[in-house]
Amino acid sequence: MAKLTLVEAINLALAHALQNDPDVVLMGEDIGRNGGVFRATAGLQQRFGALRVQDSVLAEGVIAGMAVGMAAQGLKPVAEIQFMGFIYPALDQICNHMARMRNRTRGRITLPIVVRMPHGGGIHAPEHHSESLESLLCHHAGLRVLCPSTPARAYGLLLAAIRNPDPVIFLEPTRLYRLARQEVEDDGVAADLDCCHLLREGQDVTVVCWGAATHDVLQAAHALESESIDCEVIDLSSLSPIDHNSILDSVARTGRLVIVHEAARNCGVGAEIAATVAERGLYHLHAPIRRVTGYDTVMPYFRLEHDYIPSVTRIADGIRETVQA
Amino acid sequence: MAKLTLVEAINLALAHALQNDPDVVLMGEDIGRNGGVFRATAGLQQRFGALRVQDSVLAEGVIAGMAVGMAAQGLKPVAEIQFMGFIYPALDQICNHMARMRNRTRGRITLPIVVRMPHGGGIHAPEHHSESLESLLCHHAGLRVLCPSTPARAYGLLLAAIRNPDPVIFLEPTRLYRLARQEVEDDGVAADLDCCHLLREGQDVTVVCWGAATHDVLQAAHALESESIDCEVIDLSSLSPIDHNSILDSVARTGRLVIVHEAARNCGVGAEIAATVAERGLYHLHAPIRRVTGYDTVMPYFRLEHDYIPSVTRIADGIRETVQA
Amino acid sequence: MHSVANFDIHYRQLLDAAGMPTGEWPGFGRDPAQLLAMYRMMTLCRVFDTKAINLQRTGRLGTYAPCTGQEATHVGVGAAMQADDVLFPVYREYGTQLWRGVTLAGIYTYWNGDERGTWFDGPRQDFPWCVPIASQMPHAAGAAMAFKVRGQARCAVAYIGDGGTSQGAFYEALNAAGAQTLPLVAVVVNNGWAISVPVAEQTAARTLAQKAIAAGIAGIQVDGNDIIAVRAVMEEALARARNGGGPTLVEALTYRLSDHTTADDATRYRPAGELEAAWQREPLLRTRHYLQAHGHWSDTQEAALRADCQAQVDAAVSAYQALPAASTDSMFEHLFAQLPHELQAQQASARHYAAHKG
Amino acid sequence: MHSVANFDIHYRQLLDAAGMPTGEWPGFGRDPAQLLAMYRMMTLCRVFDTKAINLQRTGRLGTYAPCTGQEATHVGVGAAMQADDVLFPVYREYGTQLWRGVTLAGIYTYWNGDERGTWFDGPRQDFPWCVPIASQMPHAAGAAMAFKVRGQARCAVAYIGDGGTSQGAFYEALNAAGAQTLPLVAVVVNNGWAISVPVAEQTAARTLAQKAIAAGIAGIQVDGNDIIAVRAVMEEALARARNGGGPTLVEALTYRLSDHTTADDATRYRPAGELEAAWQREPLLRTRHYLQAHGHWSDTQEAALRADCQAQVDAAVSAYQALPAASTDSMFEHLFAQLPHELQAQQASARHYAAHKG
Ligand SMILES: Cc1ncc(C[n+]2csc(CCOP(=O)(O)OP(=O)(O)O)c2C)c(N)n1
Ligand SMILES: Cc1ncc(C[n+]2csc(CCOP(=O)(O)OP(=O)(O)O)c2C)c(N)n1
Ligand SMILES: [Mg+2]
Ligand SMILES: [Mg+2]
């Protein structure tokens, strides 16, 4: 079994899907000849040919829109948006068509599409290369939104996304692409959808997070051990639908909730989690819910990006204050 | 003083702005010769000419993008998107440029733009003509998002939006365009920004709502009087930034919070309000926060739209259950 | 300074406004049965359309987008297509849809605000109406890509309005289809107006067909009120596409003889006289003139056809009006193949309020 | 079938790759001072670019997009513009920006991940770099509209890459500018590649200049490594636009002699030999050959120029590296003219953590 980085695990899942399902077609800017700007598709065009692994023209609207037409014909397009900050030209297609076609046609036309893209900042990239815009997509019914936090989960979730008969947005935390290696078996086993994952059990507080933030949260949780603060850490993993029941169960045990995300706070996914707990789990709360998030500013150019992204210190403070409240 | 409908009040404010500020330029599809599909700009092209009131080509991206270039030159474009469901092609411009240009250039280039559009359903229109997508815009820092609920407020807020040196999204509830008349003085007085409005004082529960929903909430509040339930109703009015302090003050008095909106629930503006109260006002809550919202489905075609939009009954039930919890 | 590329845009007309042939007709034009089938369908469209407007005016239908005046384009395109081609309509090309097997009742159901109208038993893969202008264009390119990937000799046919040619999605899709040599034929229905904006204010381009040049693909202009020319041009374009010759942009010159929709009032913006002049070029009469002049048609047959169309339309009206209301649940029924657990409570709530409604 | 519209795309070259004039030169071409000014600026760009790549490789700059090979286009465009025209760049057209007064240190500051690099003391109204491909195009159309509304004889000049011509925003903006006869000149810098995608895979169009035809505007192709032709074509287009003649699309044929950015490795996708061949056509050497052949330049002057450019660049490096780090607050400083009350607590939090950092 190989020890892989997250981006290698994605490459492995894509290769597995291409190998085992002739309907799978990859498309995106610079994914073929170049193997993707993060090398997520490295080697795949050579192996599967230019019709299965297509270099798209430079137009996100066309990538998403053609995926709709291809999927309606029974192909399973896996489209890459080069960075999440460039998703806007694709939103009309994603929100007005992908998310709606099954509903609009009463199940006549269905769209097994995956739209993959790098998510989040922290890699010293230029403007628009560090966005976390999951909330926009989660607000739209008809889409699933996933965000893995480990290589193995990335492999399993990506296969699940590709096999799912409905459109899935697949967010890949750029900061994690090469951060760590993990054993990943190329067994073709898809992970479960629509559920979150317990990363760490704890008594004192439930911390919900996803993507790159999971690593910072685990560090904070580790640091807080020395203060006898025992954190339960949940990797949301499925950002839409949200596995609220698991979060509520955890909060029922710990009585406290901190949500950590890199995206801007206002109307972020954290708000939805907090609102649901304030609705369905209020009587379990021993302290105010706290969100530790990106600020409601524009993601700054990279010299200040680490002042924007919740740091381990900021996360630890948020947890500590919640436990002490 | 004339009794005007909401759409007439908007027309009046636009005329006032065109008359008094030579930099104001209106643009949008069918707004000139035709006076707008809802007649919001009726008569204005005849009065101010085709350069001040421009019929745009059929491209929302160009409308929003040209507004950026015009505003950077010191004009004050007031752009119309014909229906909110057609905002997607404009989102790259709104989110990546309008919202960011002042920040990006450290204040060198500033963008006094208003983007107006009909908001919400309930008028038996075809698909994509009934959307409530405020949350997408509120999630982006650098934008103000307004939604008036009465003719007088529409007049004052629209003038405030036009005079504001930064971009403002101005949502006009279609269901209210001709619902009721109100005395509106053409005094050129702009309303305050960044604040909400108390529509009704009450002891038992705070109900926050905006746009067309305010009318249904007031009806529900009225109906609940007979059950001795005394509702405080707040018209959010400024959807971003949210006047959280006023809401928190109210909740501190009533101990209960219901949020009503037509948009889908998941990651809606209601979630942000609930999350903030769960953060900053938890100890005042005597009952779970409740959201009465559109479902997390696609807005259905019009035969079912009233099953989607929170009805007076559904709102009243939500308030009653919250008060009795 | 020398020329490095040059281009010509051609115009095709085969049946003029008076019903006189104006060029060499293709095979189908010499087969009266085929001509009559097309004429019958155009007439059905006209009758259907008139009824739809009436239904809307009397509160039995939602806002409706009429097709009167554009029947030759719509039916001509339909007749040129093969059954396994796939259509990507905008919202008023009923003639093509009916030709391909969409039902009259289905169209009424759609405009009556009911998703069930988009269930096509006939052309199962055809796309439903597409309201966000131009967004259907990349779908068609995508279907064409699927045909290419699978080596199928099929075509995608996409409609777009003159107004729609201002949207980026239109150019993007044509460019992508050209770059990848996809079997796509796009039909710009130039009916002169995009709601209140005349085509001359929508673009400085003298023809809309020349927009093909930007994509490096074939472009041609056709008299869109001439069903012979429309079908001929489409058959050529489709054959070329099927044979790996890449996409074509066809501009059909026609006219919107109605308001934009029943919610619109064209007298507000349309110059006086333009409408009357356009009626002189409308497609049905010229076809009938030709058919009668050549002994293929009579006044009696015309009366019988009108009556038959009326009966079909009346039956469709009864059918859609008899359709029981969709359940509130149905909002959730087709959101996903399997409704996520989290949404079940919402569905239950919707069901609850539906039961307590009224 | 008859032709209803026809079009020609012309190509202009005035100085060939060997440094030989190939046509009738405009006035500025006969003024050595003007030629030397342009040559000096191209050289400054080359030196600046080389240094930037070195700074990035040594960890002193973020990802950087080089301009080597494209200097004639960039400087030629800059030299043709008037001071009160407004530039809408993409991200690598430093030659135009420097000509217009943007500072070397400002450009470094920008690529070092600091918004303060976008503060232009020189061309105060010029737009900053625009990363979302093609989204600058409607901005330029909007500025041009403002000039029209106010009756000003100014022009908007927008850059776009060959890859950028696949985006809808490009076509939309040209079409809108054509429809409204706006003073806009768009320059497609066809450098052969959009990261790893060659232009032949981006479009089936033989030239990118012909994309103008879709918008009904003027289009012309120019040798983008020939600063004489670039400036000449631009001056004509700008004069036409200023006189109410509407927009022009200029395609400048050049080559990206570098990787796409410092994060890219072009050896992965670029066919062997292409780069070497392109170096034979590069813009600086041909200009120098011409200048030296006509006695306007010498090896000594060349050495002095190189040294001077190096000194300017070194000074700029010192300047941007001496810039104190921006405060965390600055994230909130320019979000709005006045920060809404609700955001003040967030600003305080950011300030707090900045103080406790490290
Ligand atoms: C993206 C988008 N913007 C605006 C509209 C509103 N709208 C509906 S039809 C129409 C005009 C379309 O004109 P054209 O493309 O010429 O088609 P026609 O109606 O003439 O057939 C407009 C502006 C829309 N449906 N979609
Ligand atoms: C909307 C958008 N999509 C993708 C990208 C990523 N990207 C940056 S540059 C580039 C290629 C641009 O090629 P071209 O337009 O030819 O300009 P060049 O870099 O050659 O100057 C891509 C795909 C982007 N910046 N914006
Ligand atoms: Mg039209
Ligand atoms: Mg390029």
Chains touching chain B through at least 3 C-beta pairs below 8 angstroms are A, C, D
pLDDT at D356 over 80: no
**CA-closest residue to ligand 1 atom 11:** C194
Residues in chain D with CB shorter than 8 Å from the CB of A129 are 131
Residue from B62, B123, B127 to probe the interface with C (highest C Cβ count within 10 Å) = B127
Which tokens is A298 given? 């524009």
Q: Is D85 in the pocket of ligand 2 (CB under 6 A)?
A: no
D113, D195, D353 ranked by CB distance to A314: nearest? D353
- pLDDT, tens only, C238-263: 999 999 999 999 999 999 999 999 99
Chains touching chain D through at least 3 C-beta pairs below 8 angstroms are A, B, C
Ligand 4: centre distance to CA A276 (Å): 48
C-alpha triplet A183, A187, A191: angle, nearest 5°: 85
Please report which confidence band the pLDDT of residue D329 belongs to, taking 50, 70 and 90 as the band edges: confident
**B67 CA: distance to closest CA in chain C (Å):** 17
Q: What is the C-alpha separation between B154 and B171, in angstroms, rounded?
A: 10
Q: Is A88 in the pocket of ligand 2 (CB under 6 A)?
A: no
Which tokens is C108 given? 């009424």
**Active-site pick, C11, C206, C269, C352:** C269
- Cβ contact, residue pair A72, C176, below 8 Å: no
Pocket test for ligand 1, best of C71, C91, C133, C256 (most atoms within 8 A of CB): C133
Ligand 3: centre distance to CA C207 (Å): 14
Q: Is A86 in the pocket of ligand 2 (CB under 6 A)?
A: yes
pLDDT value at residue D354 = 86
Third-level CATH fold of C10-326: Rossmann fold (3.40.50)
The answer to whether A277 and A270 are in contact (CB under 8 A) is no
- The answer to whether A245 faces chain C, any CB pair under 8 Å, is yes
Which tokens is D229 given? 């032709």
Q: What is the C-alpha separation between D7 and C213, in angstroms, rounded?
A: 10
- Cβ contact, residue pair D201, C179, below 8 Å: yes
Q: Closest residue of D to C245, CA-based?
A: D204
- Cβ contact, residue pair C349, B295, below 8 Å: yes
Q: Is D89 in the pocket of ligand 2 (CB under 6 A)?
A: no
**Active-site pick, A16, A97, A119, A129:** A129
pLDDT value at residue C357 = 62
Q: Which atom of ligand 2 is nearest to the CA of D91?
A: 21
Residues in chain D with CB shorter than 8 Å from the CB of A312 are none
Match 């023809």 to its residue by tokens: C207
- The answer to whether D248 faces chain C, any CB pair under 8 Å, is no
**Active-site pick, B16, B97, B129, B284:** B129
The answer to whether A240 and B271 are in contact (CB under 8 A) is no
D294 C-beta neighbours (distance < 10 Å), count: 12
pLDDT over 90 percentage in chain D: 97
Residue B320, exposed/middle/buried by CB under 10 A (0-12, 13-18, 19+)?
middle
Ligand 1: centre distance to CA D173 (Å): 18
Residues in chain A with CB shorter than 8 Å from the CB of D62 are 124-126, 302
- The answer to whether C135 faces chain D, any CB pair under 8 Å, is no
Q: Residues A29, A31, A33, A34: is their CA dihedral positive or negative?
A: positive
Residues in chain A with CB shorter than 8 Å from the CB of D131 are 85, 126-129
> Residues of chain A whose pLDDT is less than 50?
none
Match 């059929």 to its residue by tokens: B58
Ligand 4: centre distance to CA B128 (Å): 37
Strands D2-12 and C2-12: antiparallel
Q: Is C168 in the pocket of ligand 1 (CB under 6 A)?
A: no
Q: What is the C-alpha separation between B207 and C177, in angstroms, rounded?
A: 52
Q: Is D170 in the pocket of ligand 2 (CB under 6 A)?
A: no
Question: C252 pairs with which residues across the strands?
Answer: C189, C222
Residue from A27, A30, A31 to probe the interface with D (highest D Cβ count within 10 Å) = A30
D168, D203, D349 ranked by CB distance to A89: nearest? D168
Q: Is B261 among the catalytic positions?
A: no
Judged by its nearest atom, the ligand closest to the C-alpha of residue D70 is: 2
- pLDDT, tens only, D105-143: 999 999 999 999 999 999 999 999 999 999 999 999 999
**What Å distances lie between residue C66 and C151, C261, C275, D283, CA to CA?**
38, 6, 15, 58
Q: What is the C-alpha separation between C25 and C46, in angstroms, rounded?
A: 25
Judged by its nearest atom, the ligand closest to the C-alpha of residue C159 is: 1
Third-level CATH fold of B2-184: Rossmann fold (3.40.50)
- The answer to whether B61 faces chain D, any CB pair under 8 Å, is yes
The residues of chain D that CATH labels 3.40.50.970 are 10-326
Work out the mean pLDDT of chain D and round it to a whole number: 97
Domain B197-324 has CATH 3.40.50.920: yes
Which tokens is A142 given? 């008809």
C-alpha triplet B98, B102, B106: angle, nearest 5°: 155
Judged by its nearest atom, the ligand closest to the C-alpha of residue A58 is: 2
Please report which confidence band the pLDDT of residue C1 belongs to, taking 50, 70 and 90 as the band edges: confident
pLDDT value at residue C69 = 98
Q: Which atom of ligand 1 is nearest to the CA of C133?
A: 26
Which tokens is B11 given? 């027309």
What is the pTM for the complete model shown? 0.98
pLDDT value at residue C355 = 81
pLDDT value at residue D357 = 62
- pLDDT, tens only, C90-109: 999 999 999 999 999 999 99
Q: Closest residue of C to B60, CA-based?
A: C167
Ligand 2: centre distance to CA D319 (Å): 29
In chain A, where are the structural domains located? 2-184, 197-324
Q: What is the C-alpha separation between A69 and A114, in angstroms, rounded?
A: 13
- pLDDT, tens only, C152-211: 999 999 999 999 999 999 999 999 999 999 999 999 999 999 999 999 999 999 999 999
A17 C-beta neighbours (distance < 10 Å), count: 23
pLDDT value at residue C358 = 44
- pLDDT, tens only, D229-281: 999 999 999 999 999 999 999 999 999 999 999 999 999 999 989 999 999 99
Q: Is C74 in the pocket of ligand 1 (CB under 6 A)?
A: no
Reply yes or no: is the peptide bond before residue A241 cis, omega within 30 of 0.
Answer: yes
- Cβ contact, residue pair C343, B296, below 8 Å: yes
Q: What is the C-alpha separation between D85 and D234, in angstroms, rounded?
A: 13
Q: Closest residue of C to A74, CA-based?
A: C146
Residue C64: DSSP 8-state: -
ipTM value greater than 0.90: yes
pLDDT at D358 over 70: no
Q: Which atom of ligand 2 is nearest to the CA of A88?
A: 1
Please report which confidence band the pLDDT of residue C14 belongs to, taking 50, 70 and 90 as the band edges: very high
Q: Closest residue of C to B311, CA-based?
A: C353
H or E stretch at A7: helix A6-20
- Cβ contact, residue pair A268, B139, below 8 Å: yes
pLDDT at D177 over 60: yes
Judged by its nearest atom, the ligand closest to the C-alpha of residue D161 is: 2
Ligand 2: centre distance to CA D191 (Å): 12
Q: Is D195 in the pocket of ligand 2 (CB under 6 A)?
A: yes
Residue from C102, C145, C160, C341 to probe the interface with A (highest A Cβ count within 10 Å) = C145
The residues, ordered by sequence, that sit 6+ positions from B134 with a Cβ below 8 Å of its Cβ are B119, B145, B147, B169, B171, B239, B240, B263, B268, B269
Residue from D22, D197, D199, D203 to probe the interface with C (highest C Cβ count within 10 Å) = D203
- Cβ contact, residue pair B136, A141, below 8 Å: no
Chains touching chain A through at least 3 C-beta pairs below 8 angstroms are B, C, D
Residues in chain A with CB shorter than 8 Å from the CB of C154 are none
pLDDT at B137 over 50: yes
